[in-house]
Amino acid sequence: MKSLYLTLGVVCLMIATACSSKEKKEKETITIGTKTEDKKVTTEKKTTTPVMLDNKGIGPITEVTFDENINTVLASKGEQLFKSKCLACHKATQKFIGPPMVGIYKKRSPEWVMNMIMNPDEMLKKDPVAMALLKEYNNTIMLNQNIPEEEARAMAEWFRTLE
């Protein structure tokens, strides 16, 4: 009979633990009768890519100056270029195979953005932010499409409209 109560107690404890809505700690100790059982619960950790607004990246772009107002003609050209060259992996406003462009200048400098567009091979090998993004996005590399500076600048202008 004592064994039955102990078994029922264990079952109730397991059900209560499974149904508990509180967050579990890394290691819990459950005491049943005179025995102690260690239960290790692992939690999935989300990769966090650093925000480095002073990082200009690696490549030919060392300085980008935006006008106060968005150049709508250039931004329109940038939107079309983005749609034709980048849409397979990037969505403007949501995560996809690669990161979204919305709010990019709250996390990256314009120079970094243009260098990533123009020089992804070297950026993914040497730049700490690009390497963190690579890890966050399951090691999916950004292909080098040999985008010239004027096209990268147009896309950079369009990204400003997504803020």
DSSP label at residue 106: G
pTM: 0.70
**Alpha helices, DSSP H, located in the chain:** 2-19, 72-85, 110-118, 120-126, 128-136, 149-160
CA dist 10 and 32 (Å) reads 7
Query: 3-class DSSP state for residue 20?
Result: coil
CA dist 92 and 129 (Å) reads 19
- For domain 72-160, give the fold: Cytochrome Bc1 Complex; Chain D, domain 2 (1.10.760)
Q: What is the pLDDT along the chain (163 residues), one digit of tens a residue?
A: 555 444 444 444 444 444 433 333 333 344 444 444 444 444 444 557 888 899 999 999 999 999 999 999 999 999 999 999 999 999 999 999 999 999 999 999 999 999 999 999 999 999 999 999 999 999 999 999 999 999 999 999 999 999 8
* Domain edges within the chain: 2-40, 72-160
